[in-house]
Structure 1
Amino acid sequence: MKRRAIQMPMQILLALIGLYAAVCVLVHFMQPRLVFHPHAELEADPTDAGLPFEDLTLTAEDGTSIHAWFIPGEGEGGGAGLFGVFCHGNAGNLSHRLDTMKILRGLGIDMLYFDYRGYGRSGGKPTEEGTAMDARAAYRWLTLEKGAKPDRVVAWGRSLGGAVAARLADEQTVAALVLETAFTSIPDIGQRMYPFLPVRLLASTRMATLEHLRRVRVPVLIAHGQADETVPYDMGRTLFEAAHEPKTFLELAGGHNDFFLVMGEDYAVAVERFLESIPR
């Protein structure tokens, strides 16, 4: 009877170990679904926000078609004379960035917005290497087709797009780098979200923003808020401390997805001030 009582807890322990191992395996192989949340249907286009645009289909180096919108800047704002590659976050698609497009157009910067593979009308499925190729396709179009000088191109990343933009700035010649609500890496933020799992061992998707940022030698703007409910504020501070001079930190108000709406004119003024400081 005593031996049977000992066996029961052992069986439960082995079952729990097996369940934990199964969860680890599941997390490892489901990483693309955990990281990327694409939305296929475009719910609007820039004309719905009164914005002029060019509707484009770019081709990544592996042949994947990438959908993009080019929106020229308006007036002589602080971004006049600059071009930008905007790398959005992990959810939605281009049609969910119209408010941002209106704000940045008003700053004078000519911006190319693109959807990662698997998002909106872009082909393929999203992966870490895929997003890097997609950003390079956008950069090539700006520099080769639109005639933008590389040292006039700003790599602009928001949330997950911060990792994409930081890698682009690390690999290509750019004028500046903007990181808004960005994380330091997928393993770092994954470990925060799932502290009971060995995320650093399981992660095959790295998106190492911090690693790329350390090699960037152009003006950098890091924007993060203490009320960010998705990416911890201290990650923004870590990125800022790692960045080389000249660098600027913008303290955001509002949450992860609405800070530019909550801040309104204060956001536009702060970003414009940074753009004005970029050497032409």
Structure 2
Amino acid sequence: MYVRQAGARLTLLYSHGNAADLGQMFELFVELSAHLNVNLMGYDYSGYGQSSGKPSEQNTYADIETVYRCLVETYGASEENIILYGQSVGSGPTLDLASRLPRLRAAVLHSPILSGLRVMYPVKHTYWFDIYKNIDKIPLVRCPVLVIHGTADEVVDCSHGRALWELAKVKYEPLWVKGGNHCNLELYPEYIKHLKKFVGAIEKSPPLYDESPQSSGPSDNNTQTDPEGTEDSKKSTDCREKTRPSIDHRQSTDSREKPRGSTDRRDKNRKSVDQPRASVDQPDRPRKSVDRFGGVMKSVRYIDCFRVTTASGS
């Protein structure tokens, strides 16, 4: 859904929360476009609203990139005039795309999550089966980042927003809405006031220009020149690989300890011992259940509540 605002120079690409679709977001999009004087593009993730496909982490990344290319190729928007806006779970695809756009104008994180697993458990390390690893991607974002979070958020604690803001390279003055919860920040006058101030500041500031020749679209994270951010990301994504040697080591130990001339009965017993290992030797099986919104996003069932009101202007 594209909302055009006459005379607008910037375009807002909005990724909504989990328990929402374009039908619910329509009035808010119109209000934001008018009050911020921006064009606004909203979309539904795969499997949401009228969109086909199935909801998954990887599909949301493909969804936002497709919409971004539509903005550039169909509506004539340029990378340096686009602001990415991600609400709650929408902060995942927002930061994934932002980390690959070197000339992006700005990004807004509304009640964002550090990662899917961290919503449920206060883990200190990123595991391979976690989803929406925002904590690893935000150091790769080069544009100004605004974080908005309610101090009384009982779904995604405000500490998520504060931590992401601390990790941002280019920080803009954050908005911690006193008493705000996860689903009502738009009702606070300071919400739209602070957003207008942010958009105004972004319009006055010069756009970022990437020195590399390739800057017309999303790039691979592996081409990032920031060694610190890249190394942090590698440490987290390599966790799954570290578990493989232990499985292979156990297999080699079993074959080495097998005595010569063992009886058929011992071989039969060994088969019964080896049977449970079949479930261990398939690391891809758990990933399917985790990557789906129905898996780890059971937590997102309480991450986002349905929006029944729209923003009030000021």
TM-score (norm 2): 0.60
2:163 corresponds to which residue? 238
RMSD: 2.1
Contact 1:157 / 1:179 at 8 angstroms: preserved in 2?
A: yes
Check conservation: 1:128, 1:205, Cα contact below 8 A.
Answer: no
Alignment of 1:221-236 (within 5 A): 221-236=146-161
Counterpart in the other structure of 1:259: 185
Structure 1 consecutive aligned stretches of length 4 or more whose deviation exceeds 6 Å: none
Equivalences for residues 66-77 of structure 1 within 5 A = 69-73=1-5
CA positional deviation for 1:221: 0.3
Q: Give yes or no for the alignment of 1:115 onto 2:115.
A: no
For residues 3-46 of structure 1, give each alpha carbon's deviation from its aligned partner in whole angstroms, at most 9, with x where no partner exists.
Answer: xxxxxxxxxxxxxxxxxxxxxxxxxxxxxxxxxxxxxxxxxxxx
The structural deviation recorded for 1:200 is 6.7
Q: Distance in 2 between matches of 1:268 and 1:72?
A: 19
- State whether structure 2 residue 4 is matched by structure 1 residue 85: no
Distance 1:103 1:267, change over 3 A: farther
Distance in 1 separating the partners of 2:13 and 2:130: 22
Residue in 2 that maps onto 1:41: none
Out of 28, 42, 65, which is 1:100 matched to? 28
Aligned residues: 201
Contact 1:157-1:180 at 8 Å conserved across structures? yes
Deviations along 1:175-208, one digit per CA (max 9) or x if unpaired, are 101000001011211215xx9xxx976x734101
Give 1:130 shift: 0.4
Match of 2:172 in 1: 247
> Is the Cα contact below 8 Å between 1:191 and 1:200 reproduced in 2?
no
Quick one: which of 140, 147, 160 aligns to 1:215? 140
Deviation for aligned residue 1:245: 2.2
Any unmatched runs of 5+ in structure 1?
1-68
Identical residues among aligned pairs (%)? 29
Corresponding position of 1:178? 108
Match 2:56 to one of 127, 133, 136: 127
Could you tell me how far 1:96 is from its partner in structure 2?
1.4
Secondary structure of 2:28's counterpart equals helix
Q: Name the residue aligned to 1:44.
A: none
Distance 1:259 1:246, change over 3 A: closer
Amino acid at match of 1:182: P
Of the candidates 180, 187, 196, which is equivalent to residue 117 of structure 2? 187
Q: 1:164 aligns with which of 59, 71, 93?
A: 93
Task: Give structure 2 stretches of 5+ with no counterpart.
Answer: 207-314
Could you say which structure has the larger radius of gyration?
Answer: 2
SS at match of 1:139: helix
Determine which structure has the larger strand proportion and give its number.
1
Q: Secondary structure at the match of 1:248?
A: coil
Corresponding residue SS for 1:122: coil
Which residue does 1:52 correspond to in 2? none
Kindly provide the amino acid, as one letter, of the partner of residue 161 in structure 2. Answer: G
Amino acid in structure 1 at the alignment position of 2:195: V
Q: 1:222-277: per-residue Cα shift (whole Å, max 9, x none)?
A: 0111111210011111011101124221112421011102x0x3211110100111
Opposite residue 105 of structure 1, the aligned amino acid is S
C-alpha distance in 1, partners of 2:16/2:191? 17
- Which amino acid is 1:225 matched to? G
Change (3 A) 1:116 1:205: farther
Q: Distance in 2 between matches of 1:191 and 1:276?
A: 38
Partner AA of 1:102 in structure 2:
V
Partner of 1:21: none
Does the Cα contact within 8 Å between 2:46 and 2:55 map onto a contact in 1? Answer: yes
- Contact 1:94–1:113 (CA under 8 A) maintained in structure 2: yes
* TM-score, length of structure 1 as denominator length: 0.67
